[in-house]
Structure 1
Amino acid sequence: MSTAADRVLSEVAAAVRLQEGPPGVRSVLRALRRLEPASTKELSRATSLPVPIVAAVGNELRRRDLVTKERPSRLTPAGRALLAELGMDLALNATCTTCDGRELVIPDVLDEAVHRLRALMADGPAADLAIDQSHCTPETKVRRVLALLTAGVLPGGSLLLIGDDDLISLAVAVVGDVLGAPIVERVTVVDISPDILGYVQKVAAGLGTRVETVEHDLRAPLPEQLRGRFDAAMTDPPYTPEGARLFLSRAVEGLRPGAAHSVFFSFGGKSPDDMLAVQREILDLGLVTHGHIRNFNEYEGSGILGGVGFFQHLLTTSATAPTHTGDFEGPLYTGDKRTRARRYECVACGTHVEVGPGARWPSIAALKSEGCPHCGKGPFRPGQLVPETTKTAETATATTPAPTAPVAPAPASTPANSPTPGWHPPTPEARAALTHRAAPYLTRQATEPDLPAIGEFEAEIARVSFGEDAIDDPAVWSARLGRAMEKNREGMIVASAPDGAPVGWCWISINTNAMTGDRYANFRSLAVSPLDNRADVAELLLTAGLEFCAANGIKEVTGRVHVGNVPMRTVYRQFGFDPTSLTMKLRLPAPEKAAR
């Protein structure tokens, strides 16, 4: 590998704080070379990296002109040249086109089972994302039954399901019904949800397979009557190392003593360190891996993990024993362990909201139930975790969507008492220090030749904010801002390199309150290219914008920010902005309907 190519991989990995490092960037490039044109979700499935991580890597590759701006993505000539330097310019795909690498193919005779299970899923309980539930597809359900048949666990034998939000008990029953006879001697479901258990009982009653259901919190040991009674167990536990260890331990509790009993284990893709912890739990239980299939499981609505997970066939040994013999205490589900909220974007309107600890919505399920706070709709696209310590200017640049239409100015507030100014122009010494930190970049008023670069800034902001639904044609943004520039270019400021090329821009417009006649400024946009001193350049731009306001006698600057956009709110706080108002929206019927 050349030093230059190696440096590119390292820079991209560092820019997105990729735990997998440069090898993770290589995997994305390799997958793109093989699959192009490819969507972010397709690349996530191919690499086992979460969708937000793949999207972030893709954005960094685009900034370096290695990947096309058009979606689905392709490599640019520069990207192909990089792959050639890395010795990776080979598109050979050895994955089986019949099973797509899953090793099992659903026979035609079971197509009916797939259709029936799809209907049962539509009528069944919704997934509770707060406890890491996410329903696998009907095809996955049938493949899991085929895995039991292929392993010799079925027909005959007894099966223990440690949790069954995927309704595998019904899949076993439906497959048996389609084939004309039950394929299991005994199937028992242990689950905490009375809704799931009630639905299983209701449906199984008419399918000819006896399904036993036990309502039980798996934080406690299995009931005595279930211990040591089963030939095989299956579980799709919470996606944490603790969840894997506990649910696998409960599965081991239920198996008959001795070696070579099967545990079928489904799990989502995690970082190498997390997967090391999970595999250590498996070894601590005295289990060995008999088979492992990547992307065997497909899930509905699991966008952040690309909608896929692996399927592992484990066998007991003479050393197998439960690791949790008493009650389990401590974090178990992903939400229990999460110390940071995650940003989600409303696909309908682009509003960014936070979900998780300390946020208004503790889970994405709660957000979906209530709807977007801005438009009342959804769905929601997962983004990155909210940093515990935000490098304010840099993060705000990456996550603040540019306006897609002229923004109506918020009326300037008129407090009863004269407010204390939250910002003062920097002293000459402070201004000189800031200029030194931001060197060699300087600020100036934007002009028409800058519009192509400004269009690139706004298009990139849109891509980061809205993903594949973004209006990401720089020409569109250049045209929009060109029309705005024709009306008034004051407050349009760029930071430029010594050769004049823009490396960032800020837009602050001056407006008049229609009610009071007072003039105020509206902070509309801020963006900076990836630079070593990016945060300093952002501060220089915003300072220039506020100095422009002060020079025009403006006493108040307002800014509209989505309620969930914490980084931009942090920038506001850094410069002394105070929250003063909340925009509320009510939708009314069309006039012709209202008149009836």
Structure 2
Amino acid sequence: MQKQLQQITTNMQLEEHYLTLEKALLALYFHKNCTTKSLAHTTDLPIPLVSAMKKEFAKQGWGKHSLTKKGQLAISEYFQLSGADATLYLQLTTDDAFRTEWITQNTRELSAIYNARPTADVAIDQAKCTVETALKRALLALDYTMLLNKRILCLGDDDFISIALAFLLNKIAPHSTTQIVVLDIDKRVLSMINKIAKDYELPIKTVYYNVQDPLPKTYTHQFDCVYTDTPYTLIGAQLFLSRAMNALKPEAMRHVFFSYAKRSYQKQWQLQQSLYAMGFVIDSIRYDINTYEGAQILGAKSQLFVLQTTEQMTPYIPNHLMFTRPIYTGEIDQKTVVYRCIHCQHALTVGVGYQYTTIAQLQSNGCPNCANKKFAQMKRIVQKTHFQHIVGHHILLELHDCNVALLNDVQRIKTIMCQAAEKAKAMVVTEHFHHFSPYGISGVVIIQESHLTIHTWPEYGYAAIDIFTCSSKLDLQEAVQFITKKFNAGNVTQHYLHRGK
């Protein structure tokens, strides 16, 4: 059936992908009858496209406004819906009040399992989410048509999202062929999930995996969606998302449900720049889902990004080599806190590498001298690793609608680029420019602090310019403004990158 859906996508010249057709077919299956307007709302497609889609369904013999018996059988087999609870599916996807009550009821049912989870290992940025959060995250797979007849990866699962997913799956479609795989570095977590999966006959497979190693070929390009709650560092998020990208099927509109600590506007901008550079589309950012138990560093909350893949996916970190840089908060921001016992005045240091990594652990065990459980903070030290140092500043300048004659004049371009370097107060070392036949110029100005480069396409009125420096003292914007003015560009964009961070 997947090939038929792909063919329909081609016939319709549909940009969205055949997964949109899956969403429409599930709506027809469970709702029994759907108007063109309601399907447009469900699929986010314009009404003319929905009409064309329904005609294509009718050509296959599946029905138009409602499914034929052939259509019902085909969809039931494709999504493995034998024994599915249609009422529950409809209520969870259309009734917000019922959905809230369902989460409350099932939170009580799962609490015993979740309360027995291993303690959080703060050295690898673990923070256990609440049962309610786990169920809300699981329901996202239902909302985005990623639950039925899919392969789901949980990349790092101290939150036990795999358990919530399998639990939801059994409630809605107990005979579904959906597979859930957990890759995690914490053997305690893997052991407990594995035991629960066996005891409750859940479709979960657990595998030990260190995300700093390349993703095994067995799991490359195999999954429809990925759940990941990454370390609280930018580089940690970039690494986990790169591995998630390697795990997803190489098609557009696959999903990553990505949880990450809410940060300052500057750090949020850096994160979203990374997501854009990797080729992700941010479908939504949810602030009403993630709540954690005792996660003071997060304020007990975090944001959840719903990411969609595109045809332009590029992992930030390649999969063929082991990644050796620190990725966890305790490695990058090496924090130690000295506490004093209120009763006997004994001083203890808490942090990664010491007997107690958190104050909660110290309070639980009590003072080793007198067993008192109350402490006062004396001193707090945070030391950043040298990996946070920026070694280069890089501006990517896009000039459109430029003076066409200028774009093919090698002497004038050489003069402008050398003058731009001087405007930035850089020291020019040498330069080289080449005029291609019949048109187009490439050139470089080597400066003591790095370089400026240019490539022109006169036939498009376009020039691509890079300004790169290892010095923070140069005035790069002076160079940008000078170049923009001289090329008489009608449309200018620039991207700023930190290099070596």
Q: Aligned pairs, how many?
A: 286
Q: How does 1:188-337 map to 2 (within 5 A)?
A: 188-324=181-317, 325=319, 326-337=321-332
Query: 1:135 and 2:98 equivalent?
Result: no
Residue pair 2:365, 2:373 contacting (<8 A) in 1 also: no
**Which residue matches 1:14?**
none
Which amino acid counterpart does residue 331 of structure 1 have in structure 2?
P
CA distance in 1, matches of 2:290, 2:377: 20
1:186 maps to: 179
Residue 167 (structure 2) pairs with residue 174 (structure 1): yes
Cα contact 1:145–1:171 (8 A) shared by 2: yes
- How big is the shift at 1:184? 6.3
- Distance (whole Å) between structure 2 residues aligned to residue 310 and residue 118 of structure 1: 23
CA contact (8 A) 2:146 2:224 kept: yes
Q: Would you say the 8 A contact 1:154–1:184 is kept in 2?
A: no
C-alpha distance in structure 1 between counterparts of 2:288 and 2:255, whole Å = 20
- 1:335 corresponds to which letter in structure 2? G
The correspondence of residues 92-491 of structure 1 with structure 2, limited to 5 A, is 106-179=99-172, 181=174, 185-324=178-317, 325=319, 326-342=321-337, 354-356=349-351, 361-364=356-359, 367=362, 370-372=365-367, 376-378=371-373, 385-386=380-381
Do 1:298 and 1:308's aligned partners in 2 also have CA atoms closer than 8 Å? yes
1:489-543 alpha-carbon deviations (Å, 9 max, x no partner) = xxxxxxxxxxxxxxxxxxxxxxxxxxxxxxxxxxxxxxxxxxxxxxxxxxxxxxx
| 8 Å Cα contact 1:117/1:174 also seen in 2 | no
**Coordinate RMSD, CA, aligned:** 3.1
Q: Deviations over 1:526-584 (max 9, x none)?
A: xxxxxxxxxxxxxxxxxxxxxxxxxxxxxxxxxxxxxxxxxxxxxxxxxxxxxxxxxxx
Contact 1:220 1:328 in 2 (8 A): yes
Q: Which moved more, 1:201-210 or 1:374-383?
A: 374-383
Equivalent residue of 2:334, what SS?
coil
Rounded to whole Å, the distance in 2 between the matches of 1:334 and 1:162 is 18
Deviation at 1:343, TM superposition (A): 5.7
User: Normalization by structure 2: what TM-score?
Assistant: 0.51
**Residue type at the aligned position of 2:272:** Q
Q: How does 1:12-51 map to 2 (within 5 A)?
A: none
State how far apart, in whole Å, the 2-side matches of 1:196 and 1:297 are: 20
Q: 1:345 to 1:146 in 2, by over 3 A?
A: farther
TM-fit CA distance, 1:346? 7.5
- Quote the Cα distance in structure 2 between the aligned partners of 1:226 and 1:350: 53
Question: Matched residue of 1:292: which SS?
Answer: strand
**Counterparts of 1:183 and 1:107, CA distance in 2:** 24
Partner of 1:429: none
Q: Residues 360 and 136 from structure 1, CA distance in 2 versus in 1: closer, same or farther, beyond 3 angstroms?
A: closer
**Inter-partner Cα distance in structure 2 for 1:278 and 1:365:** 30
Structure 2 gaps of 5+ residues are 1-95, 384-501
Give, in angstroms, the shift of residue 226 of structure 1: 0.2
| Counterpart in the other structure of 1:53 | none
Separation (CA, whole Å) in 2 of partners of 1:174 and 1:334: 32
Letter in 1 for 2:333: R
C-alpha separation between the residues in 2 aligned to 1:342 and 1:332?
21
The answer to whether the Cα contact below 8 Å between 2:290 and 2:303 also exists between their aligned partners in 1 is yes
Contact 2:334 2:352 in 1 (8 A): yes
In structure 2, relative to structure 1, the CA distance for the partners of 1:284 and 1:304 (3 Å cut) is same
2:223 is aligned with what amino acid? F
TM superposition shift of 1:242 = 1.0
| 1:318 Cα deviation after fit | 1.2
Q: Is the 8 A contact 1:159 1:184 kept in 2?
A: no
Q: How far is the alpha carbon of 1:327 from its aligned partner?
A: 1.0
TM-score when normalising by structure 1: 0.44
Question: Cα–Cα, structure 1 residues 179 and 349, in superposed 2: closer, same or farther, change >3 Å?
Answer: farther
Following superposition, the deviation at residue 208 of structure 1 comes to: 3.6
- Residue 105 of structure 1 contacts residue 143 of structure 1 at CA under 8 Å; is this kept in 2? no
- Shift of the 119–258 alpha-carbon distance from structure 1 to 2, 3 Å rule, reads same
Report sequence identity in percent.
33
Q: Given residue 207 of structure 1, which amino acid in structure 2 is its aligned partner?
A: Y
Q: CA separation in 2, counterparts of 1:225 and 1:111?
A: 38
Conserved 8 A contact 2:259-2:304 = yes
Equivalences for residues 572-583 of structure 1 within 5 A? none
User: What do the CA deviations read for 1:114-164 (whole angstroms, capped 9, x no partner)?
Assistant: 123211122222211111111100000000011111111113311111100
Residue identity in the other structure for 1:330: R
1:360-390 Cα offsets, whole Å, 9 max, x none, are 74555763564345753547799984377xx
- 1:53-92 equivalence runs, <5 A: none
Q: 1:322 deviation in Å? A: 1.9
Equivalent position SS for 1:291: strand
Checking the alignment, whether the CA contact within 8 Å between 1:288 and 1:317 is kept in structure 2 is: yes
Contact 2:333–2:382, Cα closer than 8 Å, also in 1: no
Report the Cα distance in structure 1 between the residues aligned to 2:371 and 2:176, rounded to whole angstroms. 47
Listed one character per residue, the Cα deviations across residues 317-367 of structure 1 (whole Å, up to 9, x for unaligned) are: 111122222211111111001234246687999998543368774555763
The alpha-carbon distance between structure 1 residues 210 and 339, as it changes in their structure 2 partners (threshold 3 A), is closer
Distance 1:368 1:238, change over 3 A: farther
> Aligned AA for 1:198?
S
In the alignment, structure 1 segments of 5+ residues that lack a partner are 1-102, 389-596
Change in 2 beyond 3 A, CA 1:110/1:269: closer
The 1:292/1:385 distance shift into structure 2, 3 A limit, reads farther
* Cα distance change of structure 1 residues 343 and 248 upon mapping to structure 2, 3 Å threshold: farther
Mapped contact 2:224–2:249 kept (Cα < 8 A): yes
The C-alpha deviation readout for 1:459-482, integer Å capped at 9, x for no partner, is: xxxxxxxxxxxxxxxxxxxxxxxx
- Give the match for residue 546 of structure 1: none
Give the letter aligned to residue 316 of structure 1. T
Separation of aligned partners in 2, 1:317 and 1:168? 25
- CA–CA separation in structure 2 for the residues paired with 1:257 and 1:293: 25
Q: Which residue of 1 aligns with 2:419?
A: none
